A = this chain, B = another copy of it.
């Protein structure tokens, strides 16, 4: 749908998404333009917000964050203030990777990474149920990560 990106821009985006370490020279070769052009186009992809950031993907198990847990949350009340308070509080919890307001049986879904189940139980008891307006939570321990954070397809 993005008609302000031509075929070359799209290819650059896909290549950089899969390998953010590509040098400008390498990328230029891969998309068959000069290094100068490639440099300007890449600049534009950043400046115009197509690329939000470039991140090193750290292996969770190597830094003691091998346990993944999904948590469904239901709030006491469905008022804007209630949602707002919850969201502000959850944004400060650095073990929360995703937090999404959803339509359905839950109000929010959280994706959480911790060291192990004991870690999670401690966090659940102290930090999650203590979040403002939480009526109940439902925990789904992840037993196997089949696909984790796959690159965007476009």
B residues in contact with A146, CB < 8 Å? 87, 90-91, 99-101, 108
A34-45 near B? 1/0 per residue, CB < 8 Å:
000000000000
> What chain B residues lie within 8 Å of A106 (beta carbons)?
140
Chain B residues with Cβ below 8 Å from A63 are: 1-2, 5, 10, 13, 50, 152, 154
Chain A positions 48 through 90: 1 when the CB is less than 8 Å from some CB of chain B, otherwise 0: 1111111111111011110010100000000000000001001
* Residues of chain B with a CB closer than 8 A to A97's CB: 147, 149-150, 152
User: How far, in whole Å, are A11 and B153 apart by their CA atoms in the complex?
Assistant: 32
Whether the pair A148, B54 counts as a contact (CB closer than 8 A) is: no
